[in-house]
Structure 1
Amino acid sequence: MRLLDWYIGRTLLASIFLVLLVIVGIDVVSVFIDESGRLSESYTFLEMSAYIALTVPGRLYEFIPSAALIGSLVGLGQLATASELTIMRGAGVSIARLVVVVMKYALLVALVGFVLGEVVAPPAEQLAENRRALAQSAPGGLAGRYGIWNREGDSYLYFNAVESETALRGVLLVQLDERRRMIASLGAQRARFAGDHWVLEDVVKTDFSSWETTRTRAETLRWDTGITPRLLTMEVVSPERLPLIDLQRYSHYLQQQGLDADDFEIAMWRKLLQPASIAGLVLVAIAFIFGPLRDGTLGLRIFAGVLVGVAFQISEDLLGPASLVFGFPPLYAALTPVLLCIGVGLVLLLRTR
């Protein structure tokens, strides 16, 4: 029985891996074409290639659920086309047993995805975004294509790029009064984190009053704030590419500042529920193979997998913003598509008995 389990698992894993390579390869080519239009003297072909290579782990993590669905349809479909599934069932292997075997390897795929999403992709993604921002920022400028805004109380912070773990380039601070009127702005070429405060370098300060503005310059200036380099690097990467612990910490920080943290909470729940998402999609694939796609062609199975994957992705994309608009908990937005997949899969499987 172990040999049979390994045979099914080997076929399944090979199909999932091949589908994942194809999907990510298409996505990488699309990104390559898009980034080619941004090449410049500073953002060279080598920098662009490094950026794309560093984002590959995140793309692998993003497409693992879809690859698990389509790969399961292809792999199990091959077994069904060759009548191997029929022979297995004739030998006394039940559908429930086959489901358990497939789910075991599907959870292995989910484990690989978890490692990618928690350990490999986040630092690679942060490095990629920082390198691109530095390459595309104008030397000596305070504005860049990929700058980030942040807020703490009545102070607003903009930084152009992260040079290192403790240094920022192109920093702009805007201070408002109780009536939300600008009272001062600080522009600095660089900022260094000194443990419990920031040191701004090459600073231009502008004070605003009702009748005049006053501009002063300083080589360095101390800035006391609770904003740490770790919090700022989290702003560089999209919430879906952050590890769970950072999502939890940054959500708590945003809530302390009175800011909306729903995007980060939705991303946190989606990451937590991704193994269940993969299990639900694979369950649908199994139900299709033993049901309507038992005698279908390879093209039909791939088309069905793409259709279900797109429907799953659309439901996630719709429910996420809907939770922000209608105010229902982010957990519901992340959990609903998963429960629908599992429910559809179980209903279809029960109908095959």
Structure 2
Amino acid sequence: MNIIERYLWKSVLFSILITWLSLVMLDSFFAFLGEIGDVGQNNNYGNLQALYYILMGAPRRLYDYFPTATLIGSLLGLGNLAANSELTAMRAAGVAIRQIVSMTLKLGLVLALMVFVLGEWVAPRTEQIANSFKLQMQQKQLAVGVQGTWIKDGERIINIGKLWSEKKLENITIYQIDQQQGRIASITRAASAEREAGTWVMRQVERQTLRNDGITPETYAELREDKLIPEQVLTIAAVKPNQLAAQELAEFIAHQRANDLSSGRFEQAFWQHFTTPLSTLVMLIIAAPFVFGFQRNAGAGQRIFIGILIGIVFFLFNRILGNMGIVYGIPPLLAATLPLLLFLAGGLWMLRRVR
């Protein structure tokens, strides 16, 4: 049985990896073509920079395409075994369908853990690096590095430790430059800043005014600023939900709830950190009925077409329901898990009908 399991794993895993890489390479190619429109608009952003940007975004594409690659790859791997009558030989040797499915699900658990690690620690970081790199190449007044986001706005230089969204900032330092004397006039530090009614409210503020005769310190519990940072820079530099790990999302959601602020987009992104790896197992369950049910009267092309169609439907349904959840107030956990549960129920129902 161990020999059969290893052989099954080898056949299915090889097909999944080939499909996975093919989908990611195809999407990366079209993404590079899309970047050509930005090449040449800035002297710092050329073809090599665009290629680096695409390569750093590859882990995110690997993460997003893995459920679909699992479905198509498992259909190809199991389909090849069926076409060569190897599945029939396994069943004739006393290996039941549920045992074969169980073997593939063990492989799915390993892959799900791998995808979880990819989506939790690798993809968010590399995507931040890619976006920061492109911003630095295209925006002269903006730089993003290890020490946060740096913005030059007239006679001010602003450092933001964490730019959570377009309405929430943390660890802000503002350097006011005196151009006439060529020195720093004041340094303002704030623990956080939030947008309220069109103005920025900075909290736990410390300001040091530098004069020729010394330094004057000031502290404020709150300080309001009508224009803290430029709007266009804020829009492009704000952290997107899919650029955050689950722990960071949980911290941000807790803060939003404590302040009675909306957190729907971030809650949905949080649950997707868990539903995306689990969808790997669902795709393997869905693939089994198409292989065992149609192995005598359907070719590999038909199985692959059905698998691609199901993968597209799952992807679109997941995306549409997520957007509808944000607009119509559907609970994020339900919006994230409902497609998974529906496809799981459909896969189990079809699998029960296979003999």
* Residue 276 of structure 1: how far off its partner (Å): 2.2
Please name the residue that 2:37 is paired with.
37
Greater Cα shift, 321-330 or 24-33: 321-330
Identical aligned residues as a percent: 34
Amino acid at match of 2:341: L
d(CA) in 2 for partners of 1:113 and 1:285? 19
80, 85, 88: which is aligned to 2:87?
Answer: 85
Please name the residue that 2:308 is paired with.
306
Q: Is the 8 A contact 1:125 1:237 kept in 2?
A: no
Number of matched pairs: 302
Please name the residue that 2:219 is paired with.
none
Moved over 4 A (4+): 234-237
d(CA) in 2 for partners of 1:88 and 1:290? 12
Cα distance per residue 1:211-269 (max 9 Å; x no partner): xxxxxx964430323259xxx9x974532342111111122233344432111111111
TM-score by length of 1: 0.79
Cα distance per residue 1:193-213 (max 9 Å; x no partner): 5xx953323459xxxxxxxxx
58, 61, 67: which is aligned to 2:60?
Answer: 58
Q: Is the 8 A contact 1:79 1:85 kept in 2?
A: yes
d(CA) in 1 for partners of 2:62 and 2:254? 28
TM-score by length of 2: 0.78
Amino acid at match of 2:257: Q
Greater Cα shift, 235-244 or 119-128: 235-244
Q: Is the 8 A contact 2:124 2:242 kept in 1?
A: no
Please name the residue that 1:226 is paired with.
192
For residues 261-276 of structure 1, the aligned pairs below 5 Å read 261-276=263-278
Per the alignment, do residues 352 and 235 of structure 1 end up closer, same or farther by CA in structure 2, a change over 3 Å counting?
farther
Greater Cα shift, 44-53 or 162-171: 162-171
129, 150, 156: which is aligned to 1:188?
Answer: 156
d(CA) in 2 for partners of 1:60 and 1:281? 16
Three-state SS of the structure 1 residue aligned to 2:192 is: coil
Per the alignment, do residues 257 and 46 of structure 1 end up closer, same or farther by CA in structure 2, a change over 3 Å counting?
farther
Q: Is the 8 A contact 2:83 2:295 kept in 1?
A: no
Does structure 1 residue 331 correspond to structure 2 residue 333?
yes
Three-state SS of the structure 1 residue aligned to 2:272 is: helix
Three-state SS of the structure 2 residue aligned to 1:224 is: strand
Per the alignment, do residues 64 and 241 of structure 1 end up closer, same or farther by CA in structure 2, a change over 3 Å counting?
farther
For residues 1-353 of structure 1, the aligned pairs below 5 Å read 1-39=1-39, 40-137=42-139, 139=140, 141=141, 160-170=142-152, 188-191=156-159, 197-202=171-176, 219-226=185-192, 236-292=238-294, 294-353=296-355
Per the alignment, do residues 5 and 167 of structure 1 end up closer, same or farther by CA in structure 2, a change over 3 Å counting?
same
d(CA) in 2 for partners of 1:192 and 1:343? 47
Cα distance per residue 1:124-153 (max 9 Å; x no partner): 11111111011110x3x4xxxxxxxxxxxx
d(CA) in 2 for partners of 1:99 and 1:119? 30
d(CA) in 1 for partners of 2:71 and 2:159? 47
Three-state SS of the structure 1 residue aligned to 2:321 is: helix
Q: Is the 8 A contact 1:54 1:127 kept in 2?
A: yes
d(CA) in 2 for partners of 1:126 and 1:265? 19
d(CA) in 1 for partners of 2:3 and 2:238? 47
Q: Is the 8 A contact 1:80 1:295 kept in 2?
A: no
Please name the residue that 2:227 is paired with.
none
Q: Is the 8 A contact 1:126 1:236 kept in 2?
A: no
d(CA) in 2 for partners of 1:100 and 1:26? 32
> CA RMSD, aligned part only?
2.6
d(CA) in 1 for partners of 2:185 and 2:149? 16
Per the alignment, do residues 235 and 86 of structure 1 end up closer, same or farther by CA in structure 2, a change over 3 Å counting?
farther
Cα distance per residue 1:133-181 (max 9 Å; x no partner): 11110x3x4xxxxxxxxxxxxxxxxxx442332342246xxxxxxxxxx
d(CA) in 2 for partners of 1:18 and 1:47? 27
Per the alignment, do residues 202 and 17 of structure 1 end up closer, same or farther by CA in structure 2, a change over 3 Å counting?
same
Per the alignment, do residues 166 and 335 of structure 1 end up closer, same or farther by CA in structure 2, a change over 3 Å counting?
closer
Q: Is the 8 A contact 1:103 1:282 kept in 2?
A: yes
Per the alignment, do residues 267 and 302 of structure 1 end up closer, same or farther by CA in structure 2, a change over 3 Å counting?
same
Per the alignment, do residues 197 and 247 of structure 1 end up closer, same or farther by CA in structure 2, a change over 3 Å counting?
closer
d(CA) in 1 for partners of 2:160 and 2:353? 64
Three-state SS of the structure 1 residue aligned to 2:249 is: helix
Amino acid at match of 1:91: A
